Amino acid sequence: MTEQSGPSTQQIVEKVWLSIAERRLRPGVQLKEEQLATIFNVSRARIRQALTVLERDGLVTIIPNRGAFICKPSVEEARDVFFVRRTVERCVIERLCVSVSKPNLRRLRDHVAQERIANAQDITTDIIKLSGGFHLLLAETVGSDFLFTTMRDLISRSSLITAVYRNTNRFNCGPDEHAEIVEAIANNDAVKATHLMAHHLDHVESELDLSEIRDLSHDLRAALS
Ligand SMILES: [Zn+2]
């Protein structure tokens, strides 16, 4: 096998990410290099690269001489992540209300339209990706690498927290609330837009049950298939 065959590092990262977001991979589960290399039909070197990215994104902990494990966020960490999101996303919204460009507004509206299509067709993987993606796109359109990188980290951690603590099987931030936020930004109404975002994050956090760890699959192959 050559290094070029099989899925790319990013594809492996996305597959693991989605399996976590869809609650098929449980926090605490060990990601064994050899087993993953067999499942994805790639070299162990590529698996190691993917694990390094997952560690950077806060989804995996690598313990020397023991291996890589899906992180297990505590209730305190879950609350902290949402606390930071409120602060960062408020800043993102305030800036957008001052400076959003027409092309970026179009991108935001197009994104919400994609979310509506995914919802109508009930495509879980798209719904999960697009829901988090909306918040990332807001940060991206501000044009600050730091805010974007910070949000990417926060969204990854939020996905893991949602996977562990979510009350229901739905993963949908909700295109309706996203659409309202976009229209408030379009009207340069920072008061309304920041209020809507705060309400939206309250709503997302309220759907978490921050009192118990859910029982999810231990089976790597079944979770990644
Ligand atoms: Zn949302």
Does 28 fall in a domain? yes
Total domains in the chain come to: 2
Pair 161, 68 in one domain:
no
Does 121 fall in a domain? yes
pLDDT at 209: 82
Does 47 fall in a domain? yes
Pair 14, 109 in one domain:
no
Quote the ligand 1 centre to 170 CA distance (angstroms): 13
Does 38 fall in a domain? yes
Quote the ligand 1 centre to 36 CA distance (angstroms): 32
pLDDT at 70: 92
pLDDT at 215: 47
Quote the ligand 1 centre to 13 CA distance (angstroms): 22
pLDDT digit string, tens, across residues 49-77: 999 999 988 889 999 999 999 988 888 99
Does 3 fall in a domain? no
Pair 141, 184 in one domain:
yes
- For the chain, give the mean pLDDT: 88
Quote the ligand 1 centre to 178 CA distance (angstroms): 6
Quote the ligand 1 centre to 171 CA distance (angstroms): 10
pLDDT at 197: 96
Q: Express as a percent the part of the chain with pLDDT over 90.
A: 58
Pair 18, 121 in one domain:
no
CA separation for the pair 142, 126 (Å, rounded)? 24
Average the pLDDT over 114-134 and give the result: 88
Residue 1, pLDDT > 70, answer no
Q: Say which range, 179-188, 190-199, 204-213, has the weakest mean pLDDT.
A: 204-213
Average the pLDDT over 95-104 and give the result: 95
Pair 51, 81 in one domain:
no
Pair 24, 99 in one domain:
no
Quote the ligand 1 centre to 45 CA distance (angstroms): 35
Pair 198, 113 in one domain:
yes
Quote the ligand 1 centre to 179 CA distance (angstroms): 10
Pair 155, 45 in one domain:
no
Pair 125, 187 in one domain:
yes
CA separation for the pair 220, 217 (Å, rounded)? 8
Q: What is the CATH number of the domain that holds 137?
A: 1.20.120.530
Quote the ligand 1 centre to 221 CA distance (angstroms): 30
Pair 65, 175 in one domain:
no
Does 175 fall in a domain? yes
Reported pTM: 0.78
Q: Which residue has the higher pLDDT, 58 or 102?
A: 102
Pair 185, 96 in one domain:
yes
Quote the ligand 1 centre to 29 CA distance (angstroms): 27
pLDDT at 84: 96
Pair 123, 14 in one domain:
no
Quote the ligand 1 centre to 160 CA distance (angstroms): 15
Quote the ligand 1 centre to 205 CA distance (angstroms): 11
Quote the ligand 1 centre to 199 CA distance (angstroms): 10
Q: What is the CATH number of the domain that holds 38?
A: 1.10.10.10
Q: 170 falls in which pLDDT band (50, 70, 90)?
A: low
Q: Say which range, 46-50, 89-93, 194-198, 217-221, has the weakest mean pLDDT.
A: 217-221
pLDDT digit string, tens, across residues 23-41: 788 888 999 999 999 999 9
What is the domain range of residue 65? Answer: 9-72+213-218
Quote the ligand 1 centre to 109 CA distance (angstroms): 14
Q: 18 falls in which pLDDT band (50, 70, 90)?
A: confident
